Amino acid sequence: MKFILRILLSALAVILLSNILPGITVDTYITAIIVAIVLSLLNFLVKPILIILTLPVTIVTFGIFLLFINGIIILLADYFITGFGVVNIWWALAFSFLLSFLQSILFSLLKSDKKK
């Protein structure tokens, strides 16, 4: 149940950001849910491999290269999902940064509801 709620909150964040950022497009609400699922799968499966492969660059840049890894994950999701579009890596970086920010706010609201 918690996983489904997190996916739906992520889809809500994807919809909000696609309305705010002109370089990001999402066709339907179902596409936003699919984007949230694919991003969670890519973050679970591909991101650790990319982190290990780019560890020297990440160390030299003091972890800033992890932002580019997040952008690459967004571009991979764009490649796999037909109703989701990202113009270039810079919009992917902005989307990734703002998505992480929105998810942290939404997920913290989810945690605060459980404490009551």
According to the model, what pLDDT value does residue 76 have? 96
Q: Minimal CA–CA distance to 25: which of 72, 77, 73? A: 77
CA geometry: angle 23, 15, 65, nearest 5 deg: 55
CA–CA distance, 37 with 40 (Å, rounded to integer): 5
- The token pair at 91 is 């919009």
Banded pLDDT at 32 (limits 50, 70, 90): very high
* pLDDT (tens digit per residue) in 60-99: 999 999 999 999 999 999 999 999 999 999 999 999 999 9
